[in-house]
Structure 1
Amino acid sequence: MLNPYRTRRVLYRTIFHLLIFLLGFLMVYPVLWMVFGSFKTNYEILNESLKLLPKVFSVDNYIRGWRGFGNLTFAQFFLNSFIITTLATAGVTISSSLVAYAFARIRFPGRKFLFACMMATMMLPAQVVMIPQYIIFRNLDLTNTFVPLILPSWFSSAFFVFLMMQFIQGLPKELDEAAILDGCSRYSVYTRIIMPLISPALITTFIINFYWKWDDFMGPLIYLSRPKMFPVSLAIKLFADSSSETDFGAMFAMSTLSLLPVFFIFLFFNKYLVEGISTSGLKG
């Protein structure tokens, strides 16, 4: 005889998982539509947009898109993106960990006031500092270079400083004291004790900032005007031409390729990302 309670429980779980699958599919569908659209012709994209699968899978869009514009192939744009993203991400990871260590472990005059000022910057919209920052870099004659897109990241980020502080404050202070008694300096404590123990937070910072910088469109749009300097996020826009025909197929193809670095980073470092976010919420 069937157990009514067990039957009802199985029914609820089935409905729950079907709803989750449906919501997940709705969230992923635009990405799937773009990926499959990269194998379609422009006619299919514009006139048969409701169909997900193309009539014939063709890589012509990828070949045409990779050729780029003029003498610039998309290899140049991908190289620009990797240079900007890697240097900026390394900078924010290193600098934020140093600032977090100072706030969490070192007692100095004005510490609480400076920490409050740093946290207050999180409430400022990016648009507030956009124009003053542009004027500064323009007066320094650094526009049309990668410096404005990289240099600010080497002065830490309040969000990532707070994230790492949660890790550091959860570590026993006796570790620092024991290392200092053994002759370690503050720098040695940071490099030999703190950094290895907060590696989940460091990896989390690296992954999140990599996502942000790789997808950044506004920064390159403001500071870069020479196509040779464009990252992928800005170069893809060149396929759209308001005065002539837009090559949607090539645009979708290069957009699909631009997702691969982010996808592989998430695939290989997903467990560190989950661990970093979850653990930082428990410590402090």
Structure 2
Amino acid sequence: MTKKITGKKIGLYAFLMILALITFFPFYIMIVNATRSTGDIMSGFSLIPSTFLAENFKDMQARVDAVAAFKNSLIIATLSTALTCYFSSLTAYAFVAYDFKYKNALFGAVLVIMMIPSQLSIIGFYKFVKNMNLLNSYVPLIVPAIASAATVFFIKQYTESALSRSIIESARIDGASEFGIFNRIALPIMSPAIFTMGITSFVGSWNNYLTPLILLSDPKKYTLPLIIRIINSDVQDPSVGAMYLSIAISIVPIMVVFFMFSRYIIDGVGSGGEKE
């Protein structure tokens, strides 16, 4: 039996399509400007791509090594996201699966950490990294991602409603190890929350500007946000086309990650709404 599409639904779909077009319009203009020359961009607005993409890329590479910066950002964002997702999931699972002394106090500490702006600790973090002789290294940009209070909180809240303790007890009775239960049973169930926070963590690490600015001094190790700032700050010889191209390059991985894993978020919302 086919469902009848009412005029109200058609109007709603049309409204949502208009909102989608409005949302993606700035990205389209950014891509168009990445193909235009600086003179054309400064002279006026255009919806039609031009033929200066290769010239803008050469200009960008002459100013900064955007390809190396892309690789650096990809390494940092991928590794930090993987560490965040796995170890935060492991911590959240411990809060759900085990009863131990000071459990509520420890979770309260997680909540307190969430409320502290990261900028407040940047000076102490810099001194700590300097004392560890890790300046101009990717280690302090990757390893601290293991401890993410916001990710622990989000995954823990989801896991409480999605993962039944009876499943864990049954697996223990069958002789499964604790890590085996976590990796084979808990992780697939927690995956919607993990993918949700994974996207957030990847975007946050990819767009991180302040921490790499403070810790990195070698231009060969710069990330994309740093080289975009270098291009933008060249007031003597500005290249707007190269700047738009560098921004477009920085947006591509974020959009790819979102479109690849957004369906897991939708599935998670659907499964989270089901009741036993």
**How does the TM-score come out when normalised to structure 2?**
0.87
In 2, the alpha carbon distance for the partners of 1:111 and 1:253 equals: 49
- Asked whether 1:150 is paired with 2:136, we answer no
Change (3 A) 1:113 1:62: same
Residue 209 of structure 1: which of 174, 180, 201 is its match? 201
Residue 161 of structure 1: which of 152, 157, 178 is its match? 152
Quick check: 1:38–1:256 contact (8 Å CA) kept in 2?
A: yes
- Asked whether 1:60 is paired with 2:54, we answer yes
Change (3 A) 1:280 1:158: farther
In 1, the alpha carbon distance for the partners of 2:259 and 2:32 equals: 21
Superposition RMSD on alpha carbons, in Å? Answer: 2.4
In 2, the alpha carbon distance for the partners of 1:162 and 1:280 equals: 16
- Asked whether 1:35 is paired with 2:51, we answer no
Change (3 A) 1:140 1:280: farther
Q: Secondary structure at the match of 1:200?
A: helix
In 2, the alpha carbon distance for the partners of 1:74 and 1:96 equals: 32
In 2, the alpha carbon distance for the partners of 1:32 and 1:130 equals: 36
Residue 26 of structure 1 aligns with which residue?
22
Q: Secondary structure at the match of 1:57?
A: coil
In 2, the alpha carbon distance for the partners of 1:65 and 1:154 equals: 38
Aligned partner of 2:261: which letter?
F
Change (3 A) 1:183 1:19: closer
Deviation at 1:199, TM superposition (A): 2.2
Residue 257 of structure 1 aligns with which residue?
249
In 1, the alpha carbon distance for the partners of 2:59 and 2:52 equals: 13
In 2, the alpha carbon distance for the partners of 1:128 and 1:47 equals: 43
In 2, the alpha carbon distance for the partners of 1:117 and 1:77 equals: 36
Structure 1: 4+ residue segments shifted above 6 A: none
In 2, the alpha carbon distance for the partners of 1:121 and 1:100 equals: 15
The size of the alignment, in residue pairs, is 270
Unpaired runs of 5+ in structure 2?
Answer: 1-5
Aligned partner of 1:41: which letter?
S
Residue 4 of structure 1 aligns with which residue?
none
Deviation at 1:218, TM superposition (A): 1.8
Quick check: 1:166–1:281 contact (8 Å CA) kept in 2?
A: no
C-alpha distance after superposition, 1:92-130 (max 9, x if no partner):
011101100111111111000010110122112222222
Identical counterparts, % of pairs: 30
Q: Within 5 Å, give how 1:191-270 maps onto structure 2.
A: 191-270=183-262
In 2, the alpha carbon distance for the partners of 1:135 and 1:281 equals: 46
Q: Secondary structure at the match of 1:255?
A: helix
Change (3 A) 1:227 1:259: same
Which has the larger displacement, 168-177 or 274-283?
Answer: 274-283
Change (3 A) 1:57 1:211: same
Unpaired runs of 5+ in structure 1?
Answer: 1-8
Deviation at 1:281, TM superposition (A): 7.3
Residue 5 of structure 1 aligns with which residue?
none
Deviation at 1:73, TM superposition (A): 3.0
In 2, the alpha carbon distance for the partners of 1:167 and 1:15 equals: 34
Aligned partner of 2:47: which letter?
L
In 1, the alpha carbon distance for the partners of 2:266 and 2:201 equals: 15
Quick check: 1:201–1:280 contact (8 Å CA) kept in 2?
A: no
Aligned partner of 2:54: which letter?
D
Q: Secondary structure at the match of 1:269?
A: helix
